[in-house]
Amino acid sequence: MGSSNEQARRLAASGLNSIAGAGIEMGTKAGKPPQGKRKGADRFSRLFGDIANGTSLAAGRASTFMLAAGVVLVWAITGPLFQFSDTWQLIIKTGTTIVTFLMVFLIQNSQNRDSAAIQVKLDELIRVSAAQNSLVGIEHLTDEELEEIRSKCERRAEVDNNDDQDGKDSVRRTGDKATKAAERAVAAE
């Protein structure tokens, strides 16, 4: 688990270096200079991120589910032994409440980091493509502004779909190539 986190950090660092080489200044927001972080806060943030990553990876495994199901099964089997007392019921209620409460924060942290990483990747793709660079950073707009932009994009896409047979042909050809490549990969196994 630790090695995969280190690999991810190295890959991210190499990606940041290539982005920095492309003229994007990391650590700045809207032209403001980067603000220095306190080392203690940075270490805590990194530690929390590592714990959240590890926990979310572990929580998604089948073995973790089996362990949790086993705990519930043991708890249920011991019910008659403890005569289904209030304490017996309180144990499972308290345990599940604590686990749920902590998992909310860990899962949200993982989701926030995943969303931020995806957003950076999309912004970079927009920046280097023929797409409109004005779309970079729109995740910071209000819901109403996003809805207005979404509506405009849908109207443009509808007009483009009616007028652009070449685009449809290109998508079809790409789909055909992907299908053939998948068939070759399956046949090679």
Q: How many CB atoms are closer than 10 A to CB 33?
A: 9
pTM above 0.75, yes or no: no
pLDDT at 163: 62
Q: For the chain, which ranges sit under pLDDT 50?
A: 1-5, 11-34
pLDDT at 36: 53
Which pair of tokens denotes residue 48? 């929390």
| Domain-wise residue ranges, the chain | 44-135, 141-189
Distances (CA, A) of 25 to 31, 132, 157: 9, 20, 33
pLDDT at 73: 96
57, 1 contact by CB (below 8 A): yes
pLDDT at 31: 39
pLDDT at 83: 93
The stretches of 26-85 forming alpha helices (DSSP H) are 39-59, 62-77
pLDDT at 161: 66
Furthest-apart CA atoms within the chain: distance in Å: 74
pLDDT at 48: 86
